[in-house]
């Protein structure tokens, strides 16, 4: 039985993050190291953790974070490689050529293309990429940010090729002995169990996400249209439903048959092909094109340093007659097929390395960095340099260099942009995961209930049977604080498991709701909002954006919570 002092100390690391980031607006790069120090103090004072166990837990956290950073680095490098070569310009112009209607462009570029970028790269990149594309097409920058943050919600849980579940749950739960033992008692490995969690997360998303494409369009017409009404959005409901179905069906089937790595990637790719094909065949086009009011009627706060339709990218890039791109000064023309080839190759590599057993076996046993019995403890982990998705991203980056005729300057710029984007994430992730590992291992080190178990037992006593409704809200809180679905799963995955165990509800259902909640919180994660505003020249309007993003957040968290209650007590009460 935990003492009141232990309960207070267990709360302190998470409270520190909340107070510093929300109350004092500290960035994660400053708040997470402080939380780590607080966790060390809590482990030492409240649990009697030895310096050796504290150091070993921190090292384990750094290794886990290195796995995440390796994936993220490769994903972002490929993303900026395609920006440098003009591939994204070609893709964007190809979509824009399909329709001049802003509502159709939101469905294609924000919901489908944004979901694809999230599935491939994750970590806040869709809004930072799609936002400028929309501004280049003539969207008010504030509108571009608001809809870009909203549209890729369904893909976030499976972002960066499944990183939130693979790293955020498989790696973490693999280090928790009582979880491992319970899962093995069910005749499963932790990886197989997290695959089941992925199916429930996809199920939540498919049901609640039916409104996501419509919400993106409706927020644009209601807050940025001349008429300030959702009526224009209602006119494209057939298109939003078709796009959702084209995405959702392969998305859910992929989660069920292939696991957590590919749902967002394959769902968005199939959705793009099917929806674009339907539009090109003449289906789902509105009777009249909808556009924003004239530029001189826009409020000043809609536009910052970058004028819509007049970005530097537009000045540097010429458009070919077929929707391809002529890069300024080079006379190079890129077709849509050539632009899409790197991501098609990436998808093929990822699937092949996961389903062809001989190749999987080779990659998982070659060039593996192992750490066992860290500092004489029972803790250990590894980095599979060839098997992690980061290796596939790097391989495709190398192929893209000759494929897209990149010069040395372009390669250098892609790497520099990647390092610039990665820098804030390195410190934040290292110390965030180290903090969680200290909280997790406090029980293992002392043979007692650790910090997160103490917190989950207390929450279970306080909320009782109603807790499943709160599970997505807790996941959203984690992502809001840390700015990452992955870190939210690391912070609160074991906590949610403990609550489910205490109140006797299915742990798989609860963790699925946590995975969805981590996606929801990204809508208002401060550093995501700041990054999205920065690339369209509107830094300083975070409050306006967050207030608007609360609309989809409340909708999504409420209905996910209701589904969690239904799944837990009516439909799937017997699930582990």
Residue 166 DSSP class: I
Contact by Cβ (8 Å): 183, 173:
yes
Determine the Cα–Cα distance for residues 432 and 482; give it in Å rounded to an integer: 8
Token duo for residue 570: 């009516």
Q: Which two tokens stand for residue 24?
A: 């004092």
CA distance 203 to 559: 12
With 90 as the cut, is the pLDDT of residue 192 above it? yes
For the chain, percent of residues with pLDDT exceeding 90: 56
User: Scanning the structure block, which residue is given the tokens 């509108």?
Assistant: 143
DSSP 247-305: HHHHHHHHHHHH-TTSHHHHHHHHHHHHHHHHHHTT-S--SS------GGGS-GGG--S
How many residues would you count in the chain?
576
Tally helices (H) and strands (E) across the chain: 28, 5
Confidence of residue 323 (pLDDT cuts 50, 70, 90): very low
What band does 72 get if pLDDT is binned at 50, 70 and 90?
confident
Q: Are 575 and 508 spatial neighbours (Cβ–Cβ below 8 Å)?
A: yes
Provide the 8-state DSSP code for 19: I
pLDDT in tens, 351-372: 788 778 899 899 999 999 999 9
- Do the Cβ atoms of 457 and 498 come closer than 8 Å? yes
Strand partners of residue 384 = 368
Q: What is the mean pLDDT of residues 470-477?
A: 92
Radius of gyration of the chain (CA): 23
Is residue 187 a contact partner of residue 256, using CB atoms and an 8 Å limit?
A: no
Q: Which of 474, 345, 439, 355 is nearest to 399 (CA)?
A: 345
d(Cα 471, Cα 372) in Å, to the nearest integer? 34
The reported pLDDT for the residue numbered 123 is 67
How far is the C-alpha of 62 from the C-alpha of 554, rounded, in Å? 34
> Could you read off the pLDDT of 10-39 as tens digits, one per residue?
999 989 987 887 678 777 788 889 999 999
DSSP annotation of 140: -
* Sheet strands (E) in 349-495: 368-371, 381-384
Backbone angles phi, psi at 449, to 5 degrees: -70, 125
CA dist., res. 169 & res. 385, Å (int):
19
Task: Say whether pLDDT at 454 is over 70.
Answer: yes
For tokens 């924003």, the residue is 292
In this prediction, residue 482 carries a pLDDT of 66
CA 83 to chain centre: 20
pLDDT higher than threshold 70 for residue 546: yes
Q: Give pLDDT, residue 556.
A: 98
Q: Confidence class of residue 318 from pLDDT cuts 50, 70 and 90?
A: very low
pTM for the model stands at: 0.79
Cα angle value 435/127/250 (rounded, 5°): 90
If one counts every other C-beta atom within 10 angstroms of the C-beta of residue 395, the result is 16
Q: How many whole angstroms separate alpha carbon 286 and alpha carbon 235?
A: 7
144-172 mean pLDDT: 90
| 467-482 helix and 542-566 helix, angle to the nearest 10 degrees | 150
The span from the CA of 114 to the CA of 522, in Å, is 14
User: Greater confidence, 311 or 84?
Assistant: 84
* Beta strands per DSSP E along 153-192: none
Q: Which residues have a Cβ under 8 Å from the Cβ of 164 and sit 6 or more positions away?
A: 122, 156, 157, 158, 484, 485, 486, 488, 489, 515, 518, 519
Residue 528 banded pLDDT, cuts 50, 70, 90:
confident
- DSSP readout, 356-374? -HHHHHHHHHSSEEEE-SG
Least confident of 22-26, 89-93, 379-383: 22-26
- Answer whether 209's CB lies under 8 Å from 186's CB: no
Which residues lie below 8 Å from residue 408, measured CB to CB, with a gap of 6+? none
Q: d(Cα 349, Cα 470) in Å, to the nearest integer?
A: 38
Cα gap 477→547, rounded to integer Å = 16
């Amino acid at each position: 039985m935990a003492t009141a002092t232990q309960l207070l100390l267990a709360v302190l690391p998470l409270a520190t993050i909340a107070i510093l980031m929300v109350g004092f607006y500290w960035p994660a790069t400053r708040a997470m190291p402080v939380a780590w120090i607080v966790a060390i103090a809590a482990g030492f004072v409240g649990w009697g953790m030895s310096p050796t166990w504290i150091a070993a837990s921190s090292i384990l956290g750094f290794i886990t974070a290195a796995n995440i950073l390796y994936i993220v680095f490769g994903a972002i490098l490929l993303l900026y490689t395609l920006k440098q070569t003009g591939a994204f310009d070609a893709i964007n112009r190809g979509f824009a050529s399909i329709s001049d209607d802003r509502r159709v462009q939101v469905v294609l570029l924000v919901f489908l293309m944004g979901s694809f970028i999230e599935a491939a790269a994750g970590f806040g990149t869709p809004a930072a990429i799609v936002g400028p594309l929309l501004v280049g097409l003539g969207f008010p920058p504030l509108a571009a940010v608001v809809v870009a943050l909203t549209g890729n919600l369904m893909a976030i849980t499976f972002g960066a090729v499944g990183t939130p579940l693979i790293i955020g749950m498989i790696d973490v739960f693999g280090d928790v002995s009582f979880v491992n033992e319970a899962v093995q008692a069910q005749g499963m490995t932790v990886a197989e169990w997290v695959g089941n969690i992925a199916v429930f997360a996809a199920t939540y998303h498919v049901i609640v996400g039916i409104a996501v494409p419509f919400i993106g369009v409706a927020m644009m017409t209601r807050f940025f249209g001349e008429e300030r009404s959702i009526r224009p959005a209602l006119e494209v409901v057939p298109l939003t439903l078709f796009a959702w179905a084209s995405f959702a069906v392969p998305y859910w089937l992929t989660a069920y048959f292939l696991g957590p790595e590919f749902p967002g990637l394959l769902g968005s790719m199939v959705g793009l092909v099917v929806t674009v094909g339907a539009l090109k065949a003449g289906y789902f086009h509105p009777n009249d094109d909808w556009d924003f009011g004239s530029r001189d009627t826009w409020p000043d706060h809609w536009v910052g340093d970058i004028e819509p339709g007049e970005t530097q990218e537009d000045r540097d890039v010429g458009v070919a007659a077929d929707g391809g791109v002529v890069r300024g000064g080079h006379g190079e023309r890129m077709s849509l097929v050539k632009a899409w080839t790197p991501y098609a190759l990436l998808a093929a590599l990822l699937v092949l390395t996961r389903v062809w057993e001989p190749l999987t076996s080779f990659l998982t046993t070659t060039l593996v960095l192992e750490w066992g019995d860290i500092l004489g403890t029972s803790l250990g982990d590894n980095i599979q340099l060839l098997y992690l998705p980061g290796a596939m991203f790097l391989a495709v980056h190398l192929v893209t260099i000759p494929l897209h005729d990149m010069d040395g300057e372009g390669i250098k710029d892609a790497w520099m942009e990647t390092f610039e984007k990665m820098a804030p994430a390195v410190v934040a992730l290292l110390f965030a995961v180290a903090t969680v590992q200290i909280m997790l291992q406090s029980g293992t080190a002392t043979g007692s209930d650790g910090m997160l178990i103490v917190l989950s037992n207390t929450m279970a006593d306080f909320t009782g049977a109603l807790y499943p409704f709160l599970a997505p809200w807790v996941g959203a809180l984690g992502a809001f604080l840390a700015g990452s679905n992955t870190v939210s799963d690391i912070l609160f995955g074991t906590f949610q498991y403990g609550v489910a165990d205490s109140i006797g509800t299915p742990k798989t259902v609860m963790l699925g709701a946590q995975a969805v909640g981590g996606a929801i919180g990204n809508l208002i994660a401060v550093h995501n909002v700041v990054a999205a505003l920065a690339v369209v020249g509107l830094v300083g309007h975070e409050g306006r954006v967050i207030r608007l993003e609360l609309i989809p957040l409340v909708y999504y968290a409420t209905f996910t919570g209701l589904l969690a209650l239904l799944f837990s007590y009516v439909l799937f009460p017997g699930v582990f």
